């Protein structure tokens, strides 16, 4: 578990000492890829010693991620290098490498990727056009006029529509073949989360829902979303699918879902554990919570 230690971000001296500590570790990011190691199905984050690799942080914007039981953690973006050869591990897209990672490992790499990407892309002030300088250990940028810019987070809802012992699963054309998931969509300006749940459900599958119930949330840095999941009861069963958004949508029973989770059926599969959809669907299948 990582303590973000946000109160330390405004203390350059403490941050400098922490970075020079023999316990400091670096999370490398290169063009939206993360450094991972390990063999087989579950990659593991590769954390490099800042003490052993001081060259990786010289004259560079270093993002402070927080502190865990072993010491401080920092993220370093090396995207300007055309041919990066990391001292250990390999660089992979987190959407693939993180599929079966433990949640804490995924969240660490996701935070590093998200903040490094934001700092890399956010170079000019949208109010005056002036150059933005690195500030607050990577959680803010400031122009010469004093205008402050903070990392953007786009709220989106994930919706599991239920009725009795069945729920609606759907697939978008971009999904891997055979994968079905809960419904999802972005919150519009001025819209409440509950209204977004109702609107998105009606737009995507033509079903009205009652009393959306919040379940859980997850930061999703692809590139900058916050996913908030809901369970909502359908008022009717007829699906009218939005052909532009969805390739398929169907009612699925708890028994069918359990067959999928327990590998007795390969008719379809659901997103891996790193996705908020996985515990949402699994929780319904096994009547948890």
What would the pLDDT profile of 118-136 be if each residue is shown by its tens digit? 999 999 999 999 999 999 9
Q: Which residues of the chain have pLDDT under 70?
A: 40, 289
Q: What's the CA gap between 212 and 258, in Å, rounded?
A: 24
Number of C-alpha atoms within 13 angstroms, CB side, residue 17? 4
- pLDDT at position 41 is 75
The whole-model pTM stands at 0.89
Q: What is the pLDDT of residues 209-238, one digit of tens each?
A: 998 999 999 999 888 899 999 999 999 999
- pLDDT at position 8 is 98
- pLDDT at position 218 is 94
Neighbours of 262 (CB within 10 A): 9
- pLDDT at position 289 is 65
- pLDDT at position 83 is 82
For every residue of 183-211, which 3-state class applies, written as one string?
EEEECCCCCCHHHHHHHHHHHHHCCCEEE
The answer to whether the CB of 207 falls within 8 A of the CB of 270 is: no
Q: What's the CA gap between 85 and 211, in Å, rounded?
A: 52
Neighbours of 135 (CB within 10 A): 16
- pLDDT at position 206 is 97
Sketch out the chain's domains with CATH numbers: 6-120 (3.90.79), 122-151 (no CATH), 154-285 (3.90.79.10)
Q: What's the CA gap between 50 and 195, in Å, rounded?
A: 47
Q: How far, in Å, are 56, 58, 75, 97 from residue 50 at the CA level?
A: 8, 11, 10, 23
Number of C-alpha atoms within 13 angstroms, CB side, residue 259? 10
């Amino acid at each position: 578990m990582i303590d973000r230690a946000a109160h330390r971000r405004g203390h350059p001296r403490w941050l400098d000492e922490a970075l020079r500590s023999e316990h400091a570790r670096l999370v490398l990011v290169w063009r939206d890829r993360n450094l991972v190691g390990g063999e087989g199905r579950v990659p593991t984050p590769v954390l490099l010693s800042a003490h052993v690799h001081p060259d990786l942080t010289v004259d560079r914007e270093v993002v402070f991620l927080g502190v865990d039981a072993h010491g401080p953690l920092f993220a370093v973006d090396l995207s300007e290098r055309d041919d990066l050869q990391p001292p250990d591990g390999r660089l992979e897209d987190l959407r693939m490498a993180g599929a079966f990672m433990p949640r804490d490992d995924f969240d660490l790499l996701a935070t590093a990727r998200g903040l490094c990407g934001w700092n890399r892309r956010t170079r000019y002030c949208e109010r005056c056009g002036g150059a933005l300088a690195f500030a607050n250990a990577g959680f803010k940028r400031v122009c010469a006029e004093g205008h402050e810019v903070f990392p953007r987070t786009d709220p989106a809802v994930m919706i599991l529509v239920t009725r009795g012992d069945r729920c609606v699963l759907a697939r978008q054309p971009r999904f891997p073949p055979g994968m079905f998931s809960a419904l999802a969509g972005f919150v519009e300006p001025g819209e409440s989360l509950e209204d977004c749940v109702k609107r998105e459900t009606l737009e995507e599958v033509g079903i009205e829902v009652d009393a959306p119930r919040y379940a859980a949330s997850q930061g999703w840095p692809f590139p900058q979303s916050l996913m908030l999941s809901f369970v909502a009861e359908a008022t009717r069963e007829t699906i009218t699918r939005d052909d532009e958004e969805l390739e398929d949508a169907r009612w699925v029973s708890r028994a069918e879902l359990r067959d999928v989770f327990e590998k007795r059926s390969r008719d379809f599969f659901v997103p891996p554990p790193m996705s908020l959809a996985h515990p949402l669907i699994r929780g319904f299948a096994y009547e948890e919570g």
